[in-house]
Amino acid sequence: MAKIKNPTELPILGTLEKEELIKLVEELQEEKLLREAFGHISETGSNDAALMWRGRNRFLAEQVQPVVISPVKEKSYPKRNGGEHRIIDGDNLAVMRSLLTEFRGGPKTGFDVIYMDPPYNTGTDTFAYNDNYNLSKAELDQLKKKVRYVEKGVSLDDPSKHTKWINHIAPRLWAARKLMKHTGVIIVSIDEHELPRLWMLMEEMFGEKNRLATLIWERSRKNDASYFSEGHEYLLVWARDERALNEKMKVMATLKEWERAKGKWRKRKDGADEILMAYAEAKLAHNSDVSKIQLAMNEWFKALPQDHPARKNRYKKIDEEGMFNDDGDLNWPGGGGPRYDVIHPVTKKPCKVPASGWRFPDPADMEALIKAGKIAFKKTHAGVPRLKKYLHESDLEVATSVFKIVGQRAVDTVEKLLGKNVFDSPKDHEMLAELFNLVTWRDKEARIFDPYGGSGTTGHAVLAMNAEDGGNRRFILVESGDPRNKKIPKKDYTDRLTAERIRRVITGKWADGKAHPKLPGSFTFYTAHKAIDKAMLMASDRENLADIILQIVEEDSNRQDCRFEGYEYLIGKTRLGYGIALVWEQGRMRGHQPLTRDIRSKIMAEAEQAGVTKPVYIYAVANTSPQNDKLYRFQQIPDSLLARLNLLEEEENND
């Protein structure tokens, strides 16, 4: 970005509110610091607590090329119609680059959740990585050609296995960060093989202050282990901006649904929904007779399987208000609490006072709880009363950092859906659904992105979430195939595995032939294999070309640029407010309309109407309008776009 010699050249800055200016400066500083964190360390140097790998400089220099994302009606569901969700067949890095125009992260734009399940680098993985990472500074300065990627297996005894894995994951984490809403959360699954390097990468890219948790999924026990059974995986959870997340928490605390939790992340207690449903049925069957409802619920609890989570629930007593437990502590924490008389309702004598004093310093508060029926007295005043808690008022709890879910459950689900041996080590869709609900406050409009679509677990989780509460959540899955899979060719992988699972979940037609519920939903299938070149640019319609231009312009920014609708020529503006216009009509020159004086006048009028800053950057195949650098800057199609994509030299060599 060129230095600003005169601040008056940027009148847009004068139109920003103080808070917007502060945010803009903070984002620019953050971008600068992050670049410095990666850029100032040499390939052979050293720095305290910095992740070193051969390829850091290349990671900074390379520019990922966007690709053309095209719908495939025959592979969508329903066929020829498609739907609200998206499944994209293509390289996830190129696709993430291409999604920036629509989903670049901002206060109200971008993804609420990004879930990544990358290769674990266990010695059997195949993944794409940059195989040309040892470059000098001079070579970096002259870097223009497309980055050379290879895709092949990486064995455990490969001396550069960690370097190759980092060169795969680093640009994808960086791309994911740009797609996150400011209140968004990223969850990355990993095991012990690359946990240390992933942790340090995420600290550098997302900031140590934005780390939220390290979760452990305990999925199996390895009884043949020589020392310890490592049957768990990790899920690293980071916020895009914890400050923005904290502000959202304050807002959520004002909503009735989250008032009791004070806006904090809370999950439904295990088994609570089943208990409340059984209680409602018993209450209806026994006409609100408390004694009969209690007997019915006692029998219901006895009939539960031994491993059912509701068995651990302490809310098993019943009164007119519902199911409750009466073991709530009324002690003052730490001792030395207030002491006053609490009269027993039967003996009319003062109850025994807890050794540390009463929990509530004001006797009036205790009296209010007694009148509300929230205090459970013992048979006589000799016992200390207890606090009564109702399940329907306490059905939320804080999530712990350890999930104990047998991994075989996910394997069985995939086998029932798609058959045996089609996918190794799938994730549990119920576990993911619980996580997604947790980190989005059960937002029914959440947008969830998974760049490693695999067997479609994330899509299954989102469909199940919507089916449960009537939500309108959306997912985007990206998958490029697994050359190790012996049953499904790589070219058919996304269609026959990722998309096929979603089709069967929607239709209820699983491979096991048994009856399964149909989950509401539909999706559009896309391919993203065609790279952008000169011929493709010149054959584009106006909408597609506008998307490409905005993708390229936005690459220099970590802030959402505004796209304009409803103008004949103006298509958007940059972060600093400069207008962007496109002249792309059927006309005389090379099949397209050149920029003329009349068209320029119309563009300037649109710029005034939209309030954008001049000069306006105008893209067209040719220019017959008088030059005026204060009003506009001409950008020739296709050369200016090819140059920005580092493809101009290749096109010249091909001509």
Strand 474-479 and strand 375-376: pairing? unpaired
Residues 6+ apart with CB under 8 A from 325: 314, 315, 316, 317, 388, 389
Domains of the chain: 66-123+174-263+400-529 (3.40.50.150), 281-393 (no CATH), 534-654 (3.40.1350)
Most confident of 73-82, 121-130, 387-396: 73-82
Give the model's pLDDT for residue 142.
45
Strand 375-376 and strand 386-390: pairing? antiparallel
Give the 3-state secondary structure of residue 609. helix
pLDDT tens-digit series, residues 565-618? 889 999 988 877 889 999 987 544 455 789 999 999 999 999 999 999 899 999
Q: With a cut of 60, say whether residue 260 has pLDDT above it.
A: yes
Give the model's pLDDT for residue 586.
52
pLDDT tens-digit series, residues 543-566? 778 877 877 766 544 334 467 888
Separation of alpha carbons 369 and 328, rounded Å: 13
Helix ranges restricted to H, 235-333:
242-252, 256-259, 272-285, 290-303
- Residue range 390-415: mean pLDDT, rounded: 87
pLDDT tens-digit series, residues 338-364? 999 999 999 999 999 999 999 999 999
pLDDT tens-digit series, residues 116-132? 999 887 766 555 544 44
At 42, the pLDDT band (50, 70, 90 cuts) reads very low
CB-count exposure of residue 223 (10 Å: 0-12, 13-18, 19+): exposed
What angle separates helix 500-507 from helix 408-418, to the nearest 10 degrees?
A: 80
Q: Which two tokens stand for residue 378?
A: 């013992």
Q: With a cut of 90, say whether residue 284 has pLDDT above it.
A: no
598 to each of 212, 488, 569, 620, how far by Cα in Å?
A: 55, 57, 12, 14
- Residue range 453-461: mean pLDDT, rounded: 95
Give the 3-state secondary structure of residue 9. helix
Separation of alpha carbons 465 and 452, rounded Å: 20
187 to each of 2, 210, 239, 268, 355, how far by Cα in Å?
A: 36, 12, 9, 20, 46
Give the model's pLDDT for residue 589.
47
- Residue range 54-64: mean pLDDT, rounded: 64
Residues 6+ apart with CB under 8 A from 524: 71, 76, 82, 83, 85, 86, 87
What rounded mean pLDDT belongs to the chain? 82
User: Where is pLDDT greater, at 538 or 528?
Assistant: 528
Q: With a cut of 70, say whether residue 523 has pLDDT above it.
A: yes
Q: With a cut of 90, say whether residue 226 has pLDDT above it.
A: no
Give the model's pLDDT for residue 44.
41
- Residue range 135-144: mean pLDDT, rounded: 41
At 623, the pLDDT band (50, 70, 90 cuts) reads very high
Secondary structure of 219-245 as H, E, C letters: CCCCCCCCCCCCCEEEEEEEECCHHHH
- Residue range 410-415: mean pLDDT, rounded: 93
Most confident of 63-77, 138-152, 167-181, 236-250: 236-250
Give the 3-state secondary structure of residue 16. coil
Give the model's pLDDT for residue 555.
54
Q: With a cut of 80, say whether residue 241 has pLDDT above it.
A: yes
Give the model's pLDDT for residue 494.
95
